[in-house]
Structure 1
Amino acid sequence: MREVSYFTLAYNGKRYHGFQIQPGLETIEGCVLSALADASCFDEISKITYSHGGRTDRGVSAIGQIISLSLPEKCFPERAMKVIEDKCNDVYVWGYRDSLPPDFKIRYWALWREYIYIDKKKNYRSQLEELKKVVNQVLSLKTLSPFYRNFKLDRFGKYYFSRVILKIELKEFDDFLILIVRAQSFPFHFVRRLISFLRNYESELSFQDNLNGWPGGEAEAENLILMRVMTNYYHKQTYTLEKIMEMIISSMFSSSSELLLNLFDFLSAAWDP
């Protein structure tokens, strides 16, 4: 069987209708696979071996999305990268890894995914130190189902909400509050639902009372970034992480230069090999 390659993608999600292919809508995956097919870089074996590391909804951006597939023999990774960038606006292919095992699929081989949410502090009723205690309590939950009370829970499998959350952190920079969540996998819209819960948190009430009184809902998609999909196979960079962060975050926030200065050292820790 042919070896597999993976590509690290960054994109501004505001111009696309999400990552996954949707008939009649412009999506990142649709553009990428169409570009590869038009350039004879996507065949039946590519289709069978194709996988992606994380689903991002409409408006959600990424710095470290990954797609993996087996390229036809005459299509080298460098050519595939150029093909994608030439056709797909606001999509940057800034790393790749080739010669991976034939059964490599990033969806199943990923060790964890990390999302960040960049928000304004003025959106919160409680202070940072109180909110840090709250996220520690979230980490101790055995199930995340309390965040989905307004869902028809019987639609989901028995273990759907039993996820391994590896890290939840809160940081503040000037007027911004940053939420970082790392997990092996995520239930539907979890990070945005957690943001909604934290925004509504009343420090004079208990954690359980806040959960019971929370009306549900999700924060805006446009402030959410898929920061990294972690794998044991490190990529070869074609852009610097600093350049990628500058391009993506500056396209998301008007005060990006000041924000980037404060964020880069902190967020780049997710990219330590």
Structure 2
Amino acid sequence: MRVALKLAYIGTGFHGSQLQPNVETVEGALFKALRNLGIIESPKSANYTCAGRTDAGVHALEQVVAFDTDKPELAIPRIINSELPPTIWAWAHAEVPRSFDARRDAVSRHYRYVMVGKEYDISRIREASKLLLGTHDFENFSRTNGEKSTIRTIERINVRVDGDLIKIDVVGNSFLWNMVRKIVTALSMIGKGVRDNDWLLQMLNPDIYEEGIEPAPAYGLTLLKVNYNEEMGWIEDNYSIRRASELNQKHILRHRVMAEVLEELISHE
């Protein structure tokens, strides 16, 4: 049987999602859990696929993976989570066709970037974001990783203010390495008045204009959702969702306390 999982993870402690030697990764932890439980022997023999890699420090709410297994009764979130670290948790599963490929069958990905936004002109960011819609060559917004083409299509960009934060949602068919984070950098520069829309249009024409820009910090980016044309029949595990919420309340409390401590440290006279 072929099984698909929805995974969520806090990427802070991982060197990205993709398996790498000698460093902690999301896939490394997942493969270890699946092997320990006897669900798969190896990613290759299980025809493992993943919707897309995330960089070091990037988070996910709905990363999708799929694999073949002879023990589908064990390939459910609450059992898999028993072997995963608390910063990674499966929360839904589905039986899928043998031909299902989590990456190739995906029709779009939805990312969200969150940043503190008091110093930005939101109207400028929103106007500039419209120029990115559609199909463009995003070579100036990527870190080359051997991709044959840097042409990508962005279907939607939404920019909204939430208190002191700015949330930028980007939906596209697929993304280049660092692409979303470099888009955020470009929009931030325009929002600060450092660059303008004419510069952004130049950036979308790498045949005549090249400029390297730094990606925005990884901690602000989350892969929110991977979309498929077919109805997947996901079965959500309410216990796993509730347990993850309880565990992460500790992270939230710790970060709130640390934010207050740091404010006191830098304001102390």
| Contact 1:46-1:71 at 8 Å conserved across structures | no
Do the aligned partners of residues 120 and 85 (structure 1) sit closer, same or farther apart at CA in structure 2, a change above 3 Å counting?
Answer: farther
Do the aligned partners of residues 204 and 192 (structure 1) sit closer, same or farther apart at CA in structure 2, a change above 3 Å counting?
Answer: closer
Do the aligned partners of residues 88 and 130 (structure 1) sit closer, same or farther apart at CA in structure 2, a change above 3 Å counting?
Answer: same
Instruction: After TM superposition, list the pairs within 5 Å mapping 1:180-259 onto structure 2.
Output: 180-201=169-190, 203=193, 206-209=196-199, 211=203, 216-231=213-228, 232=230, 233-239=232-238, 251=251, 254=255
What is the CA-CA distance between 1:142 and the residue it aligns to?
2.5
What is the CA-CA distance between 1:84 and the residue it aligns to?
3.5
| Contact 1:10-1:248 at 8 Å conserved across structures | no
What is the CA-CA distance between 1:38 and the residue it aligns to?
1.5
Q: Which residue of 1 aligns with 2:260?
A: none
5+ long unaligned stretches in structure 2: 204-208, 258-269
Paired AA for residue 128 in structure 2: V
Do the aligned partners of residues 174 and 18 (structure 1) sit closer, same or farther apart at CA in structure 2, a change above 3 Å counting?
Answer: same
What is the CA-CA distance between 1:83 and the residue it aligns to?
2.8
Q: Which has the higher strand share?
A: 2
TM-score by length of 2: 0.79
Between the aligned partners of 1:139 and 1:182, the Cα distance in structure 2 is: 10
Do the aligned partners of residues 185 and 92 (structure 1) sit closer, same or farther apart at CA in structure 2, a change above 3 Å counting?
Answer: same
5+ long unaligned stretches in structure 1: 257-273
Q: Which residue of 2 aligns with 1:95?
A: 92
Between the aligned partners of 1:53 and 1:203, the Cα distance in structure 2 is: 36
Do the aligned partners of residues 152 and 8 (structure 1) sit closer, same or farther apart at CA in structure 2, a change above 3 Å counting?
Answer: closer
What is the CA-CA distance between 1:146 and the residue it aligns to?
3.5
| Contact 1:20-1:28 at 8 Å conserved across structures | yes
Q: Which stretch shows the higher mean deviation, 4-13 or 88-97? A: 88-97
Q: 2:28 matched to 1:6?
A: no
Do the aligned partners of residues 85 and 241 (structure 1) sit closer, same or farther apart at CA in structure 2, a change above 3 Å counting?
Answer: closer
Q: 2:111 matched to 1:115?
A: yes
Residues 155-194 of structure 1, C-alpha deviation per residue, up to 9 Å, x if partnerless?
542xx22112111111111100001011111011111001
Report how many residues are paired: 245
Aligned Cα RMSD in Å? 3.1
Q: 2:127 matched to 1:133?
A: yes
Instruction: After TM superposition, list the pairs within 5 Å mapping 1:29-44 onto structure 2.
Output: 29-43=27-41
Q: Which has the higher helix share?
A: 1
